[in-house]
Amino acid sequence: MLEDPENLFPAENVVPLIAESKVDDTTSQALDAVSAELDTQTLAALLKEVIVDKKDAEDVAAGFLSEAGLA
């Protein structure tokens, strides 16, 4: 990952896409909980596991949720 010591580039915020008709209190709380734990550095590490290390994306996601206490 490249460094940005002068903060020239904005944060890479993950934005969930979901149909408005599917949003309820449970999904909102789940998305908020994941957002609180998922920063750029963590996302980069997760992507490395999937792309470079060739791990299954579902397994990587499940591991993240478990480690974050969300599963």
Assigned domain for 24 exists:
no
State the total domains in the chain.
1
Assigned domain for 50 exists:
yes
Q: How far is CA 50 from CA 31, 32, 35, in A?
A: 21, 23, 19
Dist. CA 3–CA 33, nearest whole Å: 27
Domain that holds residue 49: 39-71
Q: Which residue has the tokens 């896409």?
A: 17
Assigned domain for 66 exists:
yes
Dist. CA 28–CA 50, nearest whole Å: 26
Assigned domain for 48 exists:
yes
Give the distance from CA 44 to its chain's centroid: 9
Assigned domain for 63 exists:
yes
pTM of the model: 0.74
Q: How far apart are the first and last CA of the chain?
A: 28
- For the chain (71 residues), the mean pLDDT of every run of 10, in chain order, is 80 83 95 91 93 97 96 88
DSSP 20: G
